[in-house]
Structure 1
């Protein structure tokens, strides 16, 4: 089945007038893309969000969890209704953009380690912000057509656990308590497709900072040293066996070493090496097993190398498994299928190995939450490639994925679909 994109969408009370709003949303998206900000540094983005929400008529609170913004609005259709939380994340990544777009980022910032780094919206959070602001504009313009209350959450620092920081900042007591939490994430699939599943949707994520200790010296006399670079290389290679040889083929786990830092010169053996390790898992048992194996390998390789000091293993921010409430997911899949066409809404056979912190809102509130993924890639790139092919064999190597320096969702019609999916899902509870 060749990937196709619906050319029209049904116009509802909440989507009336969206077409006229799209040029402004496109300009907003390009501006956000050109001005990305790292986690907890989203000052400019938060200012843009807060200003637009106020113009639309929302009650706005800034500085939630650092740079988070929350808007609250109640419908005017008469009668009480539920509280619906809609969430978008705002932060970008330390990636140098290579898309070649006219609005490509040239921004830099200081990261959490004090390094000056390039910054890019390589995960599509600029799309999320744009789509939610489009949805809030439509909700404000058509308040007479819906009941209940919407809490629009513009979250900082999704990449490092900003949802938890917002909750710690009193989110549960400061804003109306939601009855349902909804969120979406753009993905490298054809525009018009939506993918979700009941139960576990995205993996747990654990990150570690590992410092290996050696004994430095001259590169010409390695026998007088304990080389932490070689030690680090041994750790990296041995870690690859954790998944391939200790996790069953029926289970899911990923171990990635995303950074190695050691040394300053080619003929100096340094004192230390530092690794950044990321682990993904979909069940508590696999998570516990993999974490234990990773630590065992690190310590064993250090001992085998004759390290003068035990490694230091520091836990960085972690995310739990993102779990969709089954009944609420069925509702969302049904209403999106009715709007987009049933063939455009795909039920995933297994969780993504990516991770999210959105589920913390529903867990903290004790209410159902649902996240779905929606396509943001030109369907022409998927000629003769159907959803079943992608689910079975993965994406073609020619299509950039999230976190790639080449990742760039097509604004049109991705924004239109992203706004529509948010409004369509929310409207079920706000009728």
Structure 2
């Protein structure tokens, strides 16, 4: 693997940074301590500009190259997840009920590694904008940063991001042009009946039976309303109701997620959910309200920028370790908002066998941090060569 020698030299430092960040996970937009650590390191590296407080705790840093040229954006997410850690690592989370279960500590570290190298060498034209983003997991921090004007403010022309990939071989990059990750919508259904004694159901209006009927009917959206060859997921993930075996409750709560690539599919699912909820409410004699929320859009890679990014990845890990023809997946990613604003590409970097992201035993593989940092650095040097 052609990891940049200078980055390989400070790989032990990167491990220290990453494990420090792992101990101090922060959620959502409240990544203030993480941002402070990032700013401290960026100041040590001697970057030219640091802009704080974007999307509450986001940071954008500018490094100027040699000579005039465009601005390329590199993004890393900083937030963690509300999960109790089960890694047993000596650097495990010190924050109860929160952990870096998706590797954002590693993503931040990789971008810091690239920042240190680029600030030292400046072997590129134009500028690089280093985007450290909060609230990827919940809140759409990328979209907030875009709404707050980072693309225009810093004159970013194209933008790139990287995510670790468990159970993909160490150092293997995978991506695809066009849609790579799905849009994510959420729905909640509140069912209101009339509670009472379980021995006297005739005196009640049972929301439990109604909720079961609604969930069963929802399963027909995929099986009977959607073309079988198109990608679409509708999953009910929560049903909450009741408190005891001898009480029919007053209400029930249903929650779920929709993953899609086509706005027409989103429209169809929302329409059918409304029809099902209304119809089942009438059938069971309850009241039922649906709230349908369209969240992150599909993550769509620009074809030309994906070809460029895959070519850069090949410089770092070799032809055999880059696959730019993978199938799209039904997960979601708020980097989609940045790709709506500017052309760019999203790649995955394999970190080997182990627990998947969002698992309490997940841990970022420090071995891949110099690879990711080298990739980020080569994007800049290759895409904006000195004249």
TM-score after normalising by structure 1: 0.83
- Separation in structure 1 between the aligned mates of residue 289 and residue 273 of structure 2, nearest angstrom: 12
- Separation in structure 1 between the aligned mates of residue 95 and residue 242 of structure 2, nearest angstrom: 28
**Residue deviations 1:322-364 (CA, integer Å, cap 9, x gap):** 1111111111112212321111111234311111121322423
3-state SS of 2:257 partner: strand
Q: Is the 8 A contact 2:312 2:378 kept in 1?
A: yes
1:66 aligns with one of 52, 56, 70: 56
1:404 aligns with one of 340, 355, 359: 359
> Structure 1 252/194 Cα, relative in aligned 2: closer, same or farther at 3 Å?
same
Q: Is the 8 A contact 2:189 2:290 kept in 1?
A: yes
- Counterpart of 1:416 in structure 2 is 370
- Separation in structure 1 between the aligned mates of residue 76 and residue 104 of structure 2, nearest angstrom: 7
- Counterpart of 1:319 in structure 2 is 296
- Counterpart of 1:183 in structure 2 is 161
Moved over 6 A (4+): none
Q: Is the 8 A contact 1:216 1:268 kept in 2?
A: yes
- Separation in structure 1 between the aligned mates of residue 115 and residue 190 of structure 2, nearest angstrom: 46
- Separation in structure 2 between the aligned mates of residue 424 and residue 404 of structure 1, nearest angstrom: 32
- Counterpart of 1:142 in structure 2 is 121
Give yes or no for the alignment of 1:369 onto 2:331.
no
Gaps of 5+ in 1: 1-8, 109-117, 379-398
Q: Is the 8 A contact 2:191 2:252 kept in 1?
A: yes
**Residue deviations 1:175-224 (CA, integer Å, cap 9, x gap):** 32111111111111121111111111111111123222222223333332
Q: Is the 8 A contact 2:192 2:252 kept in 1?
A: yes
> Structure 1 346/96 Cα, relative in aligned 2: closer, same or farther at 3 Å?
same
- Counterpart of 1:290 in structure 2 is 269
Mapping for residues 13-412 of structure 1, pairs under 5 Å: 15-58=4-47, 59-75=49-65, 77=66, 79-105=67-93, 107-108=95-96, 118-143=97-122, 145-159=123-137, 160-173=139-152, 175-188=153-166, 189-307=168-286, 309-315=287-293, 318-364=295-341, 367-378=342-353, 399-411=354-366
RMSD: 2.1
Gaps of 5+ in 2: none
- Separation in structure 1 between the aligned mates of residue 290 and residue 227 of structure 2, nearest angstrom: 29
Q: How many residues in Structure 1 have an aligned counterpart in Structure 2? A: 382
- Separation in structure 2 between the aligned mates of residue 283 and residue 253 of structure 1, nearest angstrom: 9
- Separation in structure 1 between the aligned mates of residue 133 and residue 87 of structure 2, nearest angstrom: 26
3-state SS of 2:219 partner: helix
> Structure 1 229/119 Cα, relative in aligned 2: closer, same or farther at 3 Å?
farther
Q: Is the 8 A contact 1:336 1:421 kept in 2?
A: yes
Which region of structure 1 is more displaced relative to structure 2, 221-230 or 273-282?
221-230
- Separation in structure 1 between the aligned mates of residue 198 and residue 141 of structure 2, nearest angstrom: 44
3-state SS of 2:364 partner: coil
1:10 aligns with one of 2, 6, 23: 2
Residue 16 of structure 1, CA deviation: 3.6
Residue 80 of structure 1, CA deviation: 0.9
Q: Is the 8 A contact 2:124 2:380 kept in 1?
A: no
> Structure 1 275/100 Cα, relative in aligned 2: closer, same or farther at 3 Å?
farther
